[in-house]
Amino acid sequence: MNKELQALYEQDQADRKGFARFDPYQRQRMLRRDGARRQQVEALLASEPLLDPEDYFHAAMIFQHGETPEHFLLAHTLAYKGAKQGYPACFCLMAAAYDRTLMSQRHAQKYGTQYIIRERRWTLYDVDPTTTDAQRARWNVPPLAQCLQRAEEMNQTIFSAAI
């Protein structure tokens, strides 16, 4: 496993803990750090091939937290390579990156992995109603009812604790 890539992933995840991401000033700082991490991962990808499936997962997650459809498509591609090598977490990340790509283009998401804040409440972003729970299960995504329930749980744990 690439230790530099693992460290970048851990930094990315640490930025997403707590309530700082809801503060506009802190969020801007996090987005700048995200951009710097993406540049570092791009340099790593250009300089050496990834071999370990966990490296693909770490790199994909960095790009999943990108800003453009191209970032999300790269996240999907990297997660696909990790999934092809059998890394379980890459399957759900592939679905999430695909959903985020659709969302960034103002389309309904396919699998139901993406949430947004509407009127100070987490809600599941619009989901394509033709996607079945069986299709979700193929990518390690929970059934739609569980995805909807997760939004309620996020509201209870995040917004109630922030008051």
Q: Three-state DSSP class for 11?
A: helix
pTM for the structure as a whole: 0.88
Eight-state DSSP code of residue 21: G
Please name the residue that has the structure tokens 């209870």: 156
Which is nearest to 84 in space by CA: 100, 102, 66, 60?
60
Element (H, E) at 78: helix 69-84
Q: Tell me how far the alpha carbon of residue 89 is from its chain's centroid.
A: 11
Pairwise CA distance, residues 74 & 26, whole Å:
26
| pLDDT of the residue at 161 | 47
Which is nearest to 123 in space by CA: 153, 90, 87?
153
Q: pLDDT per position in the chain (163 positions), as tens?
A: 899 999 999 999 998 886 655 678 888 899 999 999 999 999 999 998 888 999 999 999 999 999 999 999 999 999 999 999 999 999 999 999 999 999 999 999 999 999 998 888 899 999 999 999 999 999 999 999 999 999 999 888 765 544 4
Pairwise CA distance, residues 135 & 91, whole Å:
12
Pairwise CA distance, residues 51 & 31, whole Å:
28
